[in-house]
């Protein structure tokens, strides 16, 4: 269920895009606020449920703004809106804490569908955390995942994971040693209403491997089964 009167911030310097998004979101019943640059973000009041964030802002970098937002509001869901389509930009955006990355020009109907899907996921996970006793701990070799506290340890070292990285790792760990199909991961981690390419899954797998300290040529604890999916090795 989408939170009643969910709050969405639109951080976009292009006035036509910003005003168009505000009209569309307000018409759908969302509580909206807007900023045209980094300086204006500090003036926004309240706690957002979701942020639409342009990467190229006149007085700063959207990636840095994203890091600040997810640090300040741990449960916020940031969706990047940008004309920068290079893979490295997508990687940086997701690594900075974004949960989605849309390339301009985008279709407003698709954007609104993604927003609804993300808000449903955020609400469901919030209720799950509220009722979680913290007793659900998954151990796979030297990897330990505390689902209740959303903390992960590799040996004695605690890893810092982004929201989607944790969700992805938890999904694979629940079937450790077995292949999880790509479509099942997308359905369980990104929602069955996901639109567009599943390339974001590969980006997050690569990010997890970096969190594990793996180099490109290393044998990974997350095996890729080409054309099928991924397997978290149990040994």
For the structural domain made of 133-232, what CATH number should be given? Answer: 1.10.10.10
Q: How far apart are CA 62 and CA 82, in angstroms?
A: 9
| 184-190 LR contacts (CB < 8 Å, sep 24+) | 184/229, 185/229, 185/230, 189/164, 190/117, 190/164
Residues of the chain with CATH 3.40.50.2300: 7-130
Query: Which position has the higher pLDDT, 15 or 114?
Result: 15
- CA-closest candidate to residue 200, choices 231, 175, 167: 167
The residue assigned the tokens 């292009």 is 14
Q: Supply the mean pLDDT for the chain.
A: 84
Judge whether 117 and 232 are in contact, CB under 8 Å: no
Residues of the chain with CATH 1.10.10.10: 133-232
- Tens digits of residue pLDDT in 164-207: 899 999 999 999 999 999 988 888 887 655 555 567 888 899 99
pTM beyond 0.85: the answer is: no
Q: How far apart are CA 202 and CA 22, in angstroms?
A: 32
- Tens digits of residue pLDDT in 48-97: 999 999 999 999 989 999 989 988 887 888 998 888 777 777 778 888 88
Sign of the alpha-carbon torsion through 34, 20, 58, 62 = positive
Judge whether 66 and 53 are in contact, CB under 8 Å: yes
For the structural domain made of 7-130, what CATH number should be given? Answer: 3.40.50.2300
């Amino acid at each position: 269920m989408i939170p009643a009167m969910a709050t969405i911030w639109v951080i976009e310097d292009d006035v036509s895009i910003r005003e168009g998004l505000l009209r569309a979101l307000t018409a759908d019943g969302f509580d909206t606020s807007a900023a045209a640059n980094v300086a204006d973000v500090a003036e926004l009041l309240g706690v957002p449920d979701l942020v639409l964030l342009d990467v190229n802002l006149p007085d700063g970098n959207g990636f840095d703004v994203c890091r600040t937002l997810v640090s300040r509001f741990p449960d916020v869901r940031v969706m990047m809106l940008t004309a920068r389509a290079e893979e490295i930009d997508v990687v940086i955006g997701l690594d900075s804490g974004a949960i989605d990355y849309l390339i301009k020009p985008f279709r407003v109907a698709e954007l609104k569908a993604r927003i609804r899907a993300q808000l449903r996921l955020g609400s469901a996970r919030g209720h799950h955390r509220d009722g979680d006793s913290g007793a659900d701990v998954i151990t796979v070799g030297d990897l330990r995942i505390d689902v209740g506290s959303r903390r992960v340890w590799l040996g004695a070292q605690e890893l810092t994971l982004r929201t989607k990285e944790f969700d992805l790792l938890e999904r694979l760990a629940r079937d450790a040693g077995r292949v999880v199909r790509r479509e099942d991961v997308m359905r369980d981690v990104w929602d069955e209403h996901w639109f567009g390419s599943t390339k974001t899954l590969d980006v997050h797998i690569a990010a997890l491997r970096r969190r594990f300290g793996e180099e490109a040529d290393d044998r990974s604890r997350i095996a890729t089964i080409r054309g099928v999916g991924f397997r978290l090795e149990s040994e």
